[in-house]
């Protein structure tokens, strides 16, 4: 990739700040306030402590058991951090779906959600409203990398062997959200075995990378949903917004910055400044 990505927590934080400035629902205390809070929460997770043999005493009598449990604790801690972050990011998708289906927005009908399910309804909304010219930069590469990782892992590749999607509802821009939804169900329903340390299993775990990639695709999908929402408007954020990185500033005739073109910003906000 020519452009480097922001770290995942940084990406979460900037998206939280942006949504907080968008006039999606001009009433305090609404669902989109909660979207900001949960993304902010996800951005702030730095540590999850996990001790696999916390209540066992085998480690006291056997050094090899102690080494194994230490290695497993370290491996699972890394997974726990990214899984925790992913779950909070995914919750924002659920909230956005609810927000889009309720007044004053109501751009997705509740009957559509009931018929298709939340994720399929959102994917259908993307297919009907998203302009591919605004596809987030590196979306295709990130989606392909995610699929490659998942297909390389014993615990995930079975999903892709049975993978089917409704072309009537899902376009290329919605594939990231839909694919992650299938992965997410393994965690939500406890249908996934946790990995063993590489030194004992002989295989390096891809779980942490797969979950990180899942989170990234969900954030990009939120960007796609917002671009779809603003499809007919050249939405500008006016005034003081220096806490959001200026990538696509709009200037007046005298060269003064007057705002931020939201759709263009959403296309590239996950990239680091050059």
pLDDT digits (tens, 9 = 90+) for 44-101: 999 999 988 878 776 666 778 788 889 999 999 999 999 999 999 999 998 888 877 7
d(CA 249, CA 168): 36
- Residues 6+ away with beta carbon under 8 Å from 14: 6, 244, 245, 269, 270
Report whether 116 contacts 126 (CB < 8 A).
no
Q: What pLDDT shows up at residue 140?
A: 95
Q: Is the pTM of this model over 0.75?
A: yes
pLDDT digits (tens, 9 = 90+) for 121-139: 899 899 999 999 999 999 9
Q: In what order do the strands lie in the sheet with 257-261?
A: 236-238, 257-261, 249-251
């Amino acid at each position: 990739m020519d452009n480097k990505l922001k770290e995942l927590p940084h990406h979460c934080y900037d998206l939280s700040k942006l949504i907080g400035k968008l006039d999606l629902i001009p009433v305090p205390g609404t669902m989109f306030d909660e979207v900001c809070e949960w993304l902010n929460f996800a951005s702030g997770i730095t540590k999850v402590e996990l001790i696999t043999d916390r209540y066992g005493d085998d480690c006291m009598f056997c050094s090899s058991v102690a080494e194994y449990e230490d290695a497993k604790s370290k491996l699972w801690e890394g997974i726990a951090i990214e899984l925790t972050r992913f779950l909070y990011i995914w919750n924002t998708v659920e909230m956005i779906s609810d927000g889009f289906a309720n007044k004053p927005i109501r751009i997705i009908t509740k009957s559509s959600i009931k018929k298709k399910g939340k994720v399929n309804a959102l994917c259908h909304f993307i297919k009907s409203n998203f302009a591919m010219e605004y596809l987030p930069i590196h979306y295709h590469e990130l989606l392909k990398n995610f699929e490659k990782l998942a297909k390389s892992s014993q615990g995930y590749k079975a999903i892709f062997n049975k993978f089917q999607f409704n072309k009537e509802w899902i376009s290329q821009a919605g594939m990231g959200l839909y694919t992650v939804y299938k992965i997410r169900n393994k965690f939500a329903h406890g249908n996934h075995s946790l990995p063993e340390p590489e030194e004992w299993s002989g295989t390096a775990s891809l779980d942490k990378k797969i979950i990180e990639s899942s989170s990234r695709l969900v954030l990009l999908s939120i960007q796609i949903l917002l671009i779809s929402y603003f499809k007919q408007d050249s939405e500008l954020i006016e005034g003081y917004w220096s806490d959001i990185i200026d990538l696509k500033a709009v200037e007046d005739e005298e060269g003064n910055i007057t705002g931020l073109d939201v759709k263009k910003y959403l296309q590239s906000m996950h990239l680091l400044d050059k």
